[in-house]
Structures are given as C-alpha cells and as structure tokens.
C-alpha cells in the first residue's frame, strides 16, 4: 500500500455490507478489503446466480470478521434485517446482472436485480441511516459501469463524469437506471451515496463467458476463439486489483453525492487483445491442442447493438483522490493467464450444462 492510501483509511473499523461479493469484482474486492482493513467486519450478501461462486471466498470462511449470507438484494425484509443486525455503516454494492450478451437474450433479470434490487438497497439503507441519526460517516458505494455513457466515435474525447448518459443495451440501460436512483437518494434525502463508473475489468475469478477468460479457456481446450463482427471494437481494460484500490479510495476519501470515473488508460481493439492473449498463452502454456493458438481465431456474427468504443477520462479521481492505475496491460495479462493456468480446478466445473446451453444460444 502507498502512504497515500494508509493515510486515507478511516480510523474507526467499518461494518461493510458487500452485495454481489461472490462474483468476479465483488470477490476480488472482499479479498482486498479483508487484507487491507483487517479490523473491519465484512458481510457478503449474494444470491449465487450462475455468476456467483461461494468457492471464490473459501479462504475467508474461518475469518471471524467475515460472514456470507446467501440471499437476494430484492428481498427487502432480509436486507433490512441484515443492515440492523450487523449495524452496517458502509454498503459496497456490486450485485448485478452484468453480461451484455445475457441482457440481449433475456433482459427481465437485469431490470429486476439492477433497478429494483438497487432501489431496495437504497430504500432500506435510507431508513437504517435515519435510525442512525443520519450519521455523516455512513457510505453507500454504488459500483457502476462506463457503458451507461453509450458508444464513442474514434476521435471523441473519453467519457468524463459530465458526459450525457446514452445507454444502448438492456444491461447498460438498467445500470443507468440504478445510477439515477443512487444520485436521487443523495439529492433528495442527503443520503451519502457515491457512484463509480468503471471500464472493463479483467483478472482472477472472471466468469468464463466474458472475452478474456473465454479466450484463455478456449485456447486451452483447442476451441474456436469467437470475435464479434470485424473485431475493431475498442474497450479500455483495467486490472481488477486497481479497481479495488480505487474503490477503497472512493469509500474513504470520496465526496458524497459525487461520481468518479475509473479507467485503465488501456484502449485496445478486441482483435488486438485476442492476438495478445494467443501470444502470451503460446509462451506460458506448456501444452496446447493447437499452436500457434491464433489459428483458432474465428470471426462470428456481431453482437446486436454492439457499442464501438469505450474510453475513460479518469482525471477527476486522479486529481481529487490521488488514484491512478498501477498495473500495465502486459503485466496484468501475464498475471491473469498464469492464474487461469494454475486454477483449472476453479474454472473447469463452471463449464456446466447451463454454460454449454448459454454458449450454444450465443454462438449458434
Ligand atoms: P458478476 O456477474 O461476476 O457478479 C455479480 C454477482 O452478483 C454474482 O455473485 C451474483 O450471484 C450476484 N447477484 C446477481 N443478482 C443478485 C441478486 N438479485 N441478489 C444478490 N446477489 C445477486 O459481475 P462483476 O463483473 O463482478 O460486476 C460487479 C459490478 O461491477 C456490477 O454491478 C457491474 O455492473 C459492475 N461493473 C463490472 C465491470 C466488469 O468489467 N465486469 C466493469 C464496470 C462495472
Ligand atoms: P465482454 O467481456 O462481454 O464485456 P463488455 O461487453 O461488457 O464490454 O466483451 C468485451 C468485448 O469483446 C466486447 O466488445 C464484445 C467482445 N466479445 C467478442 O468479440 N467475442 C466474445 O465471445 C465475447 C464474449 C465478447
């Protein structure tokens, strides 16, 4: 940890409710938090959907400051009981339906969890915060995405916190709805909400249907590497550990009612990223069914409404809170590939019948 982050730690231990803490970013955050804030109590609330995996948190099960609760953020009585029972002062809200392709196949769950679920949490926390005398130390961190800003042209300036919302997929529209609710709870009730809008994350515990883990796993299995459309779409990639550090700084130093954009300064075309993954995999994997693995690259039908380019201007979080990403894309990709190579027992069981059915419906 840098001295800046040490200074930013709150002196009193927090009691943190992490929603979606068994998912990709949530579980990385829980590990990060338990490591860096050892006296804080951490309660995970997670419904364990296809994307949630209790094994992501297995090494914390015996930690007396950690508790896992399986449940739905739309269940108001459960959420209220937890807030009260654990005397929660900080919510880190990650729980969401998060995959654009799934939102195209079935948007219902996205509106339910992302909009109604976020509303349920905000409303429960509002009453809880009222009962605590509107304590100004309480925080509600709403973790959101850059996708709410829509799609950029090749020469457009990256998204800033004042870029107009223009979500294009059911996923991003439902996240945009939840962002507006979080904003309204600050402006109407003064509740200390803060929203972060982050670019594409990658790293350990990433569910195998997203681009980076899917490519790595398909290389290991000798399966085609599907690239949508012409492969020229651009995403900004951020190592998940950098995201967790940013969220720490936001919780401890961020200003209630504000939003902060978080990005990696790593704009890459999808096809270039897939080529890099192939190259690093060829170097690091001892045995591969097809080598060079770039022979597996297959262009497939484009995603409906596929946003062309995302890019983040992270000047505000840098100048106001002192955060910048530390991991290079090259270093992060190496580390991530090493992780997938040494954690086959983690991802193999996830390639279940449900996964195969999903795969068939997207790539048919
Ligand atoms: P994920 O899909 O890996 O995990 C989501 C978690 O939420 C899972 O553990 C799931 O079981 C849980 N969940 C889903 N519905 C629930 C419900 N109704 N009640 C309780 N738990 C429920 O997602 P992720 O990639 O870790 O993303 C976490 C958050 O970060 C999301 O809000 C997402 O919008 C945001 N985000 C993600 C990225 C990214 O690149 N993955 C980028 C920016 C922002
Ligand atoms: P993804 O990991 O699904 O994240 P998001 O849609 O939230 O950006 O996809 C990243 C990019 O990769 C996106 O432009 C879609 C593209 N993509 C493919 O080309 N092929 C695939 O099989 C997948 C899953 C994604």
Asked whether 207 lines ligand 2 (CB < 6 A), one says: no
Choice from 25, 75, 261 to test ligand 1 binding pocket (greatest atom count within 8 A of CB): 25
78 CA to centre of own chain = 24
Cβ(152)–Cβ(310) below 8 Å: yes
Question: Which DSSP category does 201 fall into?
Answer: E
Are β-strands 66-70 and 193-198 bridged in parallel, bridged antiparallel, or unpaired? unpaired
Distances (CA, A) of 242 to 29, 195, 264, 319: 10, 17, 8, 16
**Residue of the CA atom closest to atom 5 of ligand 2:** 100
Q: Give me the domain span that covers residue 255.
A: 3-206+237-268+304-328
Choice from 78, 96, 206 to test ligand 1 binding pocket (greatest atom count within 8 A of CB): 96
Position 214 in a domain: no
Question: What is the structure's pLDDT at 8?
Answer: 42
Burial track 197-212 (b if 16+ CB lie within 10 A, e otherwise): bbbbbbbbbbbbbbbb
Question: What is the structure's pLDDT at 364?
Answer: 83
Instruction: Reduce the DSSP state of residue 15 to 3 states and report it.
Output: strand
pLDDT tens-digit profile of 35-81? 999 999 999 999 999 999 999 999 999 999 999 999 999 999 999 99
The structural domain count of the chain equals 1
- To the query of whether residue 156 is one of the catalytic residues in this protein, the response is no
CATH of the domain at 110: 3.40.50.720
pLDDT tens-digit profile of 181-238? 999 999 999 999 999 999 999 999 999 999 999 999 999 999 999 999 999 999 999 9
Position 297 in a domain: no
Report if pTM > 0.85: yes
Position 200 in a domain: yes
**Residue of the CA atom closest to atom 20 of ligand 2:** 227
**Residue of the CA atom closest to atom 22 of ligand 2:** 226
Distance between CA 114 and CA 179 in Å, rounded? Answer: 10
Are β-strands 193-198 and 139-145 bridged in parallel, bridged antiparallel, or unpaired? parallel
Position 364 in a domain: no
Position 57 in a domain: yes
- To the query of whether residue 359 is one of the catalytic residues in this protein, the response is no
Position 294 in a domain: no
Pocket of ligand 1 (CB under 6 A): 19-20, 22-26, 46-49, 51-52, 72-74, 94-98, 113, 117, 143-145, 175, 198, 200-201, 207
pLDDT tens-digit profile of 153-194? 999 999 999 999 999 999 999 999 999 999 999 999 999 999
- Cβ neighbours, 10 Å, residue 257: 16
pLDDT tens-digit profile of 268-279? 999 999 999 999
Please compute Rg for the chain using Cα positions.
20
Distance between CA 335 and CA 331 in Å, rounded? Answer: 6
- To the query of whether residue 354 is one of the catalytic residues in this protein, the response is no
Q: Which of 147, 179, 209, 267 is catalytic?
A: 147
Asked whether 226 lines ligand 2 (CB < 6 A), one says: yes
Asked whether 100 lines ligand 2 (CB < 6 A), one says: yes
Question: Backbone phi, then psi, for 179, in 5-degree steps?
Answer: -65, -40
Q: Which of 72, 146, 179, 307 is catalytic?
A: 146
Position 352 in a domain: no
Position 283 in a domain: no
Query: At 247, is the pLDDT very low, low, confident or very high (cuts 50, 70, 90)?
Result: very high
Atom number in ligand 2 closest to CA 227: 19
Give residue 151's region: left, alpha or beta (phi > 0; psi -120 to 50): beta
For residue 118, how far is its CA from the centre of ligand 2 (angstroms)? Answer: 25
């Amino acid at each position: 940890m840098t001295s800046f982050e040490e200074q930013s730690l709150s002196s009193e231990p927090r009691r943190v409710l992490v929603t979606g803490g068994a998912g990709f970013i949530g579980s990385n955050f829980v590990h990060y938090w338990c490591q860096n804030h050892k006296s804080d109590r951490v309660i995970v609330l997670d419904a364990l959907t296809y994307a949630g995996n209790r094994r992501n948190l297995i090494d914390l099960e015996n930690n007396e400051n950690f508790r896992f609760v399986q449940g739905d953020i739309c269940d108001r009585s459960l959420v209220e009981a937890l807030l009260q029972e654990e005397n929660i002062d900080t919510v880190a809200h990650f729980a969401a339906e998060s995959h654009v392709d799934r939102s195209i196949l079935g948007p219902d769950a996205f509106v339910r969890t992302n909009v109604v679920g976020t509303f349920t949490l905000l409303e429960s926390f509002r009453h809880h915060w009222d009962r605590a005398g509107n304590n100004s130390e309480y925080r509600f961190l709403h973790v959101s995405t850059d996708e709410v800003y829509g799609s950029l042209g090749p020469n457009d300036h990256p998204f800033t916190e004042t870029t107009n919302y223009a979500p294009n997929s059911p996923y991003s529209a439902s996240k945009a709805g939840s962002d507006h609710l979080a904003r309204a709870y600050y402006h109407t009730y003064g509740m200390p909400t803060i929203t972060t809008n982050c670019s594409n994350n990658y790293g350990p515990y990433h569910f195998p249907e997203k681009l980076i883990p899917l490519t790595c796993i398909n290389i290991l299995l000798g399966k085609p590497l599907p690239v949508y459309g012409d492969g020229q779409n651009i995403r900004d990639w951020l190592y998940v550990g950098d995201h967790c550090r940013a969220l720490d700084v936001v919780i401890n130093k961020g200003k209630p009612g504000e939003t902060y954009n978080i990005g990696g300064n790593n704009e890459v075309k999808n096809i270039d990223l897939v080529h890099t993954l192939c190259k690093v995999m060829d170097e690091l994997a001892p045995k591969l069914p097809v080598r060079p693995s770039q022979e597996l690259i297959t262009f497939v039908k484009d995603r409906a409404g596929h946003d062309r380019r995302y890019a983040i201007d992270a000047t505000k979080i840098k100048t106001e809170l002192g955060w910048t990403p530390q991991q290079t894309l090259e270093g992060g990709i190496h580390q991530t590939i090493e992780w997938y190579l040494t954690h086959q027992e983690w991802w193999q069981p996830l390639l279940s019948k449900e996964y195969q059915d999903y795969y068939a419906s997207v790539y048919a």
